[in-house]
Amino acid sequence: MRYAIGVEYDGGGFRGWQRLTQPGVEDESTVQGVLEKALSSVADAPVDTVCAGRTDAGVHARCQVVHFDSAVARDLRAWTLGATTRLPPSVSVTWCRQVAADFNARFSARARRYRYRILNRQVRPALGRQWLSWHWRPLDASAMHRAAQALLGEHDFGAFRSSECEAAHGRRELQRIAVSREGDVVTIDVQANAFLHHMVRNIVGSLLEVGAGARGEAWMGELLAGRDRRLAGPTAPAAGLVFVGPLYPPDAGLPAEVTLA
């Protein structure tokens, strides 16, 4: 049987999602490693997982979706609570659903969503610092929002692709990007069919240049057209980034938080 689970985690203490060792070898340094260890304990048999979107070191997830196969008889509550009790406090399984045999957490997703939050004040944060990036220069969130709209649509996002990216090509469809401010916190919400390695953090790094007045609003469109990573802004820190979750068609039978309206 195939199952899908929702997983939330604080990525601050991990080296990212992806397991660093071979299946069957314990890896306590990655989210995938500790999750597979917990699920394997519940199943009393090895369990391998596939996620919707791999996250880097220090990046968090509100609802990472993961699928796995198991032949053992366990109810959904046992998978959810049994795995969570075997996980470190920074990782929880929030729900479990039995899904069709052809469901794939990665390839069945139609969109993925990220949120980046910046504390914009002169003094660095003491509380909540694992969830926030910090930028001391005053930022014009409205200018950042207007500039970001040039990225909407299907494009080659080579200007915002890391040198370590292993994707076959840089074409992605950016479906939504919004920049807003509430008090001292600037929030950037991004949705796309898929993302390149460091794509969100590289977009944020460039938008910071616009928000601080170092670059004009038209610069984002120029970067996109030029497809030259060397000309874009620096990669923003990982701490402010949260993988909000993927979105699937309604017939997947998953909770509303990961289902297309």
Whole-number average pLDDT of the chain: 95
- Binned at pLDDT 50, 70 and 90, residue 21 comes out as confident
Q: Which of 10, 8, 38, 12 is nearest to 26 (CA)?
A: 38
Where in 31-124 does DSSP place strands (E)? 49-51, 60-69, 91-99, 111-119
Which pLDDT belongs to residue 38? 97
- Binned at pLDDT 50, 70 and 90, residue 113 comes out as very high
CA atoms within 13 A on the CB side of 193: 11
| Enzyme catalytic residues | 56
| Residue 173, SS3 per DSSP | strand
d(Cα 41, Cα 45) in Å, to the nearest integer?
A: 7
Which pLDDT belongs to residue 165? 83
Distances in Å between the Cα of 112 and the Cα atoms of 23, 42, 85, 213, 229 are 26, 29, 28, 30, 23
Which pLDDT belongs to residue 108? 98
- Binned at pLDDT 50, 70 and 90, residue 216 comes out as very high
pLDDT per position as a tens digit, 154-168 = 999 999 999 888 788
Which pLDDT belongs to residue 22? 66
Q: What domains are there in the chain, each with its CATH number?
A: 2-108 (3.30.70.580), 112-243 (3.30.70.660)
Token pair recorded at residue 190: 């991004």
| Residue 141, SS3 per DSSP | helix
Q: How many residues does the chain have?
A: 261
d(Cα 233, Cα 225) in Å, to the nearest integer?
A: 15
Residue 43 has pLDDT above 70, yes or no: yes
d(Cα 91, Cα 74) in Å, to the nearest integer?
A: 21
Amino acid (one-letter) located at 115: R
* pTM score: 0.94
